[in-house]
Every structure is written in C-alpha cells, then in structure tokens.
Amino acid sequence: MQIRTLRDYRRTYKELYEKLLSLILIFAYCIGITDFNYIALDGTILKAFNSPFNILKMKDIKILLKHFTEEKLSDEEISDLRDSAQKFLHSNKLLDHEKIDVLNTLKEILEESEQSSIAINDETARWMYNKQHKPQLSFNLQHGVDTKSNLICGINLSQSPTDHYEIPALMEKVLNNLNRIKPAVVSADTIYRTIINATYLNENSIEFLTPTRKQGKESINHLNDNPFSIDYFEYDPIKEVYICPNKKELKKYGPYDCKPDKFGFQRKQYSFSNYLACKECSDKEKCCKGKNRTITRYGHELLDQAEMLMEIEENKIKYKIRNIVEGPNGTYKIYFHINELHIVGIEYIQGEMNLIGTAYNLKRIFNI
C-alpha cells in the first residue's frame, strides 16, 4: 500500500517537478554559481519496467482482433498463441470491447514506430540497443549539463532509438527551465550532427560544436592505422578539394540531390576524385581497390559551418570539456537506480526524472 501511495503521489505532482528543477537552476544563476553559457548534451538508455517476454507482435495482435471481431479461435489455435497473447486473451481486467480498443491502439503504434513488437505493460516503451548491443524495452533519456557547474539543465525522455534528431525537444526543455536564459554554445557528439539539430540551434543563435566522424576520432587520438585511410585525406574548404596523403588534389564533381530526410531537409552529394593522379601513384594498391580513389561528401551549409568551427583550436579545447556530461548518467543508474523504477508511461517517468534532476542539482549546489 505504501508503494502504491508513493507512486500515486509521483503521478499527481509530476508537473511540479519540472518547475522545481527550473527554480533550482534560476537560484544557482542568481547567486552566481554559473551563467549557463555552455551546455553539453548527451543521451543514455533507461530500461522500461516491462518483461521482454510480456510483449505482443503484430501477428498476435491481428489474430486476437480476428478472435474478438470476426470468428472465435479454436482451443488448438489458442494453444498455439504465445504465452503473452494467451494471457491478454484470458485477462478479466478488460471487457471484450475494451480489449479491441487496446489492440487497435497497439497496432497503430507498431505501424507508426515500425518496430516488430510492443510491450503490454507499457506501450510507450520501445526496443533499443543497450551498451552490450542487446535489444531491451527502453526510453531514450536525453539531458543537457552546464559545463561550468555540472548542473543538469534539462531532461527529456524520447521514444526514438537513436540520438539523431533529439536536440530541439531537449533544448526546449533546457530553455524553459532556464527561463529563456540562452546559452552561447551547445556541444554534442557526432551522432547529433544532423540538419534539424543544426537548424534549430542556428535559429536560436546558439553555436553548435559537433565533430565530423574524422574530427571525433582526432579528438580521442583514434585515427585508422592505414596511412591511406579517409582519416588522412584533408578537406580544403577554400579550394573545395580533398588532398590525399601524397599531396595530390581530388577535384569536386556534383552536386547531386540526395533523398530528403524524415523532416524534409535535403543534403547535396559531391564526389571527389583524380583519375590521372591515382593512375600514376605508386601507393595506389594501399589506397583503393578500383581504378582510382573516390570520396563522397554530403554537404549542407550549417553542417559545413559546424565542421569549420571544430577546426578552431579554441573550440577543440571547449569540446573536450563536454566529457563532464557523461557523469550524471552513471549517477542516475548507480545512486538513483533509474533502471529499477517501478513506473510505467513515458510522461510519469519524465516527471520522476525531473525529480531526480532536482535532487542531483541540490546536492551539486551544496557541494559547490
């Protein structure tokens, strides 16, 4: 009874937790702990409170819908259903017409998410890969951390299994929590390097520090061992050529239109090559398998701008500071046990994470 009461309390007051998180951040600003000038972004996976076996697949849903709306299944057909589908079929918690509504909702969610199965306990959870690259029902937890004070400025739960398009939703939470105090700089790793993220930050006049794949490797000294890898081809944005390790220029061809992304943004594709230089090169076999080396580059004004920003030495130093953003992820899991939350529903877990963020910030301010 005590656990249920606490759970109900969390659900009832979940809207207040984000306001409380905001008040703590404004307090930190007012007493001069930080200016929120530079925010680092990162994500982690939060495990959902649902057994990986307590799921329904599209096939199960269609069979159950047929049972409730067209023709009753035979005992043999019922015995062939997976255990979770049989459990749903025989459940006394819902009337038949309520089960039909639930099944139709689950079917729509599966069609929209393009996933293969859905959790019965929490239909808002989605299959995502954890650190061990194993699929588990989860939520994508995104947060922004102030690099000066290590305070958590905003938390956003998402159903997206990747981080590619998460900055707009997360930064809206951050800006609201900071009472529209706008950071000058936001940094994120390479996976966030997409047009919609760059566009959002550009429209809000926020500098975007995010490396290309090569720049990311350089920042951790993890370039390819092969001296003729793409890692060692330098791009000259002024001449718009690639320079190979033997100092030959690969000329640009294009642009060619790419397929628009899910938000309608379109990149341009360019090819870079130098047939004659490759033909006469003594290192050709080390460099390419075909007749000549070709490099494909996908261009967009804002992404090119971000790439140039990351070539500035001061920004490289700034970007390394963002490593502090990973600290709260461990704290969430070790001290706040977020992977053991007995809460279902993305909106309720969002409220709980705002409460955890508030607790984290209070401890941080006390330590400062």
DSSP state of 323: G
Residue 219: its pLDDT value, please?
A: 82
Average pLDDT over residues 36-49: 95
Q: What percent of the chain stands above pLDDT 90?
A: 77
Asked whether the beta carbons of 350 and 13 are under 8 A apart, the reply is no
Rg (CA), the chain: 25
* List of domains in the chain: 2-50+129-211+312-367 (3.30.420.10), 55-119 (no CATH), 217-308 (no CATH)
Alpha carbon distance 365, 10 (integer Å)? 24
Asked if residues 154 and 143 have their Cβ atoms less than 8 Å apart, the reply is yes
Instruction: Classify 257 in phi/psi space as left (phi over 0), alpha (psi -120 to 50) or beta.
Output: beta
* Per-residue pLDDT reduced to its tens digit, 123-176: 999 999 988 888 999 999 999 999 999 999 999 999 999 999 999 999 999 999
pLDDT of residue 221: 85
Taking residue 57's Cβ as centre, other Cβ atoms within 10 Å add up to 16
Using pLDDT thresholds of 50, 70 and 90, give the confidence band for residue 45.
very high
341 SS3 class:
coil
Give 1's pLDDT tier (boundaries 50, 70, 90): very low
Which residues contact residue 308 at a Cβ distance below 8 angstroms, ignoring those fewer than 6 apart? 237
Q: Return the DSSP state at 336.
A: S
Judge contact between 46 and 349, C-beta under 8 A: yes
Cα separation, 3 vs 309, whole angstroms: 51
50-107 pLDDT per residue, tens: 888 899 999 999 999 999 999 999 989 899 998 999 999 999 989 999 999 999 999 9
pLDDT tier, 5 (very low <50, low <70, confident <90, very high otherwise):
low
Helices (H) and strands (E) in the chain — how many of each? 15, 13
User: Stretch 178-198: mean pLDDT, rounded?
Assistant: 95
The mean per-residue pLDDT over the stretch 9-29 comes to 90
What pLDDT, on the 0 to 100 scale, is given for residue 342? 86
Contact indicator for 84, 120 with CB cutoff of 8 Å: yes
Query: In angstroms, rounded to a whole number, what is the distance separating the alpha carbons of residues 134 and 83?
Result: 22
- Residue 247's pLDDT band, with cuts at 50, 70 and 90, is very high
- Looking only at the bridges linking them, the beta strands covering 207-209 and 185-187 are parallel
pLDDT at 3 over 70: no
State the Cα–Cα distance between residues 222 and 220, nearest whole angstrom.
Answer: 6
Q: pLDDT grade, residue 355 (50/70/90)?
A: very high
From residue 32, how far is each of 36, 63, 144, 175, 325 by CA, in Å?
A: 10, 62, 19, 18, 21
- Identify the three-state secondary structure at position 139: strand
